[in-house]
Amino acid sequence: MKDLMFDLETLSLLPNAAIFQIGACYFDRHSGEIFESFLCNVDIQTTFNLGFKAHADTIYWWLNRSEKARKGLVKDRIPIESAIESFISFTLGTETIWCHKDFDYPILRNYFDVLKPSVQIDYRRIYDIRTLTGLAKFDHRKLLREGIHHDALDDCIHQAKYCATCINLLGL
């Protein structure tokens, strides 16, 4: 499969954000069909141990999210090192990786710089969904939203669907 969407849930909006959830899914860029998926909850303390940060405004924002979304903070957590390695393994062979390139990728890149995994995601494979929606002049809020808002996997699925819509609108 060549198209993958990924999303991070974090405790800050800055590139040094503590990650607490990583989600990803493979999808068909024309139909929006979702294939294999990945979801990993991160032990936040392991990100703090590496110097990554949380910010009060983001924590307060999370406290106002749904209980279902907040559950990602506490269940089945694994160390960030394991989460990053598992995520990288999941992406192997992927041609195109979609995300919010000005948010998700800089944060992920900083984890690569600190953890120095043996395999990293090449920046040339990263495509921006904000640019795509802008070029297509498509308001993603028009697409029916399913799943839990701010669950990394559910966000990926939603984003993959509206990316497919944009790709079709642009005739790509």
Domain ranges of the chain: 3-170
Three-class DSSP category at 10? strand
Instruction: Name the DSSP class of 50.
Output: T
- Per CATH, the number for 3-170 is 3.30.420.10
pLDDT value, residue 15 = 97
pLDDT value, residue 1 = 62
pLDDT value, residue 71 = 77
Block means of pLDDT (10 residues each) for the chain, 172 residues, are: 93 97 97 96 97 97 90 86 97 94 96 93 94 95 88 96 96 90
pLDDT value, residue 114 = 97
pLDDT value, residue 131 = 97
Q: C-alpha distances in angstroms, 51 versus 28, 44, 48, 58, 111?
A: 37, 11, 5, 17, 10
Q: Which neighbouring-strand residues pair with 17?
A: 53
Q: Which residue has the tokens 């307060």?
A: 60
Distance CA 11, CA 159 (A): 21
pLDDT value, residue 70 = 85
